[in-house]
Amino acid sequence: MTYRKINRNTWFRKKDSTIEFTGQLNSFNVKDICSAVNLFKESSNSHLTLDFSKVLRAYPNGVLPIISSIDSLRNEDYSIYVKLPQNNNMRRLFRSVNWAHFLSPTQFEKSESQHDRHLVTRNFKDEKEQTKIVNDFMDVVLRSIELPKDIISGLEWSINEITDNVLNHSQSKQGGFVQASTYPKNGVIAFAVADSGRGILNSLQEGFPTLRTDMQAIGEAVKAGVTRNPKYGQGNGLAGSLRVATLTGGSLEVTSGKARIISTKEETKKNDRREFQLYKGTLVCGQINVSNDFSISKALNFGMSESYEPGNVIDYHYEMEDEDCLILKMQSETTGFGTRRSGKQINTKIQNLIKAKPDYPLVIDWEGIPVISSSFADEMIGKLFIKLGAISFSSLIRNVNMEPLIRNLLDKAIAQRLTQSQDEE
């Protein structure tokens, strides 16, 4: 047999050692990816071609498992060649979010492009890299979508716990891969974390040797307080992440070994697979919805008598040490200061900061910024002034260390917005 159809979207051709993908790639294709990789390894060939030329749509929860599986093959000295999608939009996506690079680093350079609403695929192998990824993602979120404080806390807690699990439990030599996106119009934040480590079953069997199946292991892993060894954590990472996601009206999906579960607020769906469809590692995909009814203390209660509220990125990175005040250092922002779009991002971030700490004034430190564009000033400060109102703006916002040119541009932006507002009345 020269080729074998795995399903309608995935084929393995033994003759030229090619896995061909068509249509769309999402988490439902993970079992097919596993089957194709296993067929390739049985073929005794050392060179594999991944053919994405007919792929029309692709999502992180479908591509990251491929990346982690292929990275594991490469670590076993298999050589990999990649054919990118023929569709221009898909081809650009594979390059811009670094799927192409991580699939075949020798073929495709790493993209350094910044994305307003997305954290492109990143690889982390130690705590320093993991911490930076969490901080970078939260910065993207704060600039992209207005969020209640509890959603900020729940999101950061979840992405931090899930990525930390990779370092503490997976024993993956390649570390983990993470990608995340925000969808402001829909009020949704989605993320995927994948590794090619030993899987949940092998990890939990250290503390629970009676576990026999991957489904049993995942079931235990999403219970509060279940861990392979208390030395490495309290075992609340997946349990808390599941509660955060589902209580916002979102979902959490966990795939490991031959098992997969998808949990929402209403139900949990379970799926067992055949031996040939074994995913050697763990994939966790979350969707968190922006909800004003969500309570972080309720989500992370775990049956404790006292409520627990974790700190978040705003407490750690924007609160001044010696004063009940927030500070935003413009020199540290990566948006640039020349476009209306970048001004809107900073405006959104400011609103998230003051909503999270409504009793704290916000100091905007312009040190090191010589010039900004008029459109940036209007979007960031002019519109903010109108939205907050003169009294609230004056009591909450303090601009410091401004060059005269920047002060004039901000004053002009406010004056023009006030005139426009009065004319509309």
Q: Do 224 and 126 fall within a single domain?
A: yes
Collapsing DSSP to helix, strand or coil, 74 comes out as helix
CATH of the domain at 4: 3.30.750.24
Answer yes or no: is pLDDT of 251 > 60: yes
Q: Do 272 and 324 fall within a single domain?
A: no
Distance of CA 246 to the CA centre of its chain: 17
CB atoms within 10 A of CB 197: 25
Give residues with Cβ within 8 angstroms of 46, minimum separation 6. Answer: 77, 78, 79
Collapsing DSSP to helix, strand or coil, 83 comes out as strand
What's the structural domain count of the chain?
3
Tell which of 264, 284, 311 closes a domain.
311
Give yes or no for a contact between 222 and 302, defined as CB atoms under 8 angstroms apart: no
| Residue 235 pLDDT level (bands cut at 50, 70, 90) | low
Q: Do 228 and 304 fall within a single domain?
A: yes
Distance of CA 342 to the CA centre of its chain: 21
Collapsing DSSP to helix, strand or coil, 270 comes out as strand
* pLDDT for res 228: 46
CATH of the domain at 370: 3.30.750
Q: Do 361 and 265 fall within a single domain?
A: no
Q: Do 96 and 136 fall within a single domain?
A: no
Q: Do 387 and 331 fall within a single domain?
A: yes
CATH of the domain at 261: 3.30.565.10
Closest among 282, 302, 300 to 165, alpha carbons compared: 282
Task: Give the pLDDT confidence of 222-231 residue by residue, as tens digits.
Answer: 886 555 444 4
Q: Do 252 and 401 fall within a single domain?
A: no
Give residues with Cβ within 8 angstroms of 108, minimum separation 6. Answer: 82, 95, 100, 101
CA dist., res. 309 & res. 299, Å (int): 9
Within 13 Å of residue 394, how many CA atoms lie on the same side as its CB?
A: 4
Give yes or no for a contact between 33 and 159, defined as CB atoms under 8 angstroms apart: no
Task: Give the pLDDT confidence of 124-147 residue by residue, as tens digits.
Answer: 999 999 999 999 999 999 999 999
Q: Do 79 and 173 fall within a single domain?
A: no
Task: Give the pLDDT confidence of 17-51 residue by residue, as tens digits.
Answer: 999 999 999 888 888 888 888 888 888 889 999 99
Q: Do 136 and 9 fall within a single domain?
A: no
Span 176-197, average pLDDT? 95
Q: Which domain holds residue 32?
A: 1-112
